[in-house]
Each structure stands twice: as C-alpha cells, then as structure tokens.
Amino acid sequence: MTSDLAAQLRAVSLRVTRPRLAVLAALHDHPHADTDTVISLVRTDQPMVSHQAIYDVLRALTDAGLVRRIQPAGATARYETRVGDNHHHLVCRSCGAIVDVECVTGQAPCLTASDDHGFAVDEAEVVFWGTCPACS
C-alpha cells in the first residue's frame, strides 16, 4: 500500500515523506478521523512527529485534493480519503459516528439552488442526521 500512497503524492506533485505516508495510511484505514485520532495513529509508528507537522500534512493533502475535510454542524473537523465524488454523510446525533452515503436519489429540488446568484455551483453538501443502530 505504501507504494500506492507514494504514487498518489507524486501524482499531485507532493514530496513523499514519512509523515505524509503515515497520515494517508491512517485515513485510508480510519475514514472520518478527527485530527486527534490522526495524531494518535501516526504517533504509533512515528512517535516524534509533532502536532504541527500533522496539521501541516493534513492541510497539504487537503489542498492537493487527496483528502477531503468535512465538518458537520457542531462537530469537530474530520478527514477522509474518499474524494472526487459528491457523496454525502450520515451522522449519529448521539455518538457522532459518521458513514458515507452515495449521492442522493429521487427528486432533487433541494439540490438545485433556487437562485445561484451568479455562482458556478459544482457541489452540493448533504448531511443526514439521526441515531445509529448502536445508539437506538
């Protein structure tokens, strides 16, 4: 997997570094992880990596389009490696669990802005809130 992650970094003109590889690997294995979780996961193998280095890596990966930052209302920011599609999320109001949902189907009056005010809309964000099976 490390060679795949390195290829992803090179494809977006980012240097391949141990912290970048570690953050990408952590996010591949733990989608929707918050920053503290990423720090813990990376420090398991690289205990000397600073908080700031991980914040910098997350920013670089997000800016390069390899990682997506999501922040449901009232929740801490989370990161995922599923990018390039317009998927949505289910969020548990009780425990905060987040899962991916494929693009919504059916009638879409809420997905087309009634007035785009001249914007070139290229994405719609939908967050479904409820209670997960474990909390029900």
Beta bridge pairs of residue 79: 33, 69
Structure tokens at 90: 């289910």
**Residues 110, 63: Cα–Cα separation, whole Å:** 28
Structure tokens at 95: 């425990």
The dihedrals phi and psi of 16, each to the nearest 5 degrees, come to: -85, 115
Q: From the annotation, which residues make up the binding site for Zn(2+)? A: 92, 95, 132, 135
Contact (Cβ atoms closer than 8 angstroms) between residue 26 and residue 38: yes
Strand-strand pairing, 127-130 and 88-92: parallel
Q: From the annotation, which residues make up the binding site? A: 92, 95, 132, 135
Determine the residue type at 122: D
Contact (Cβ atoms closer than 8 angstroms) between residue 80 and residue 29: no
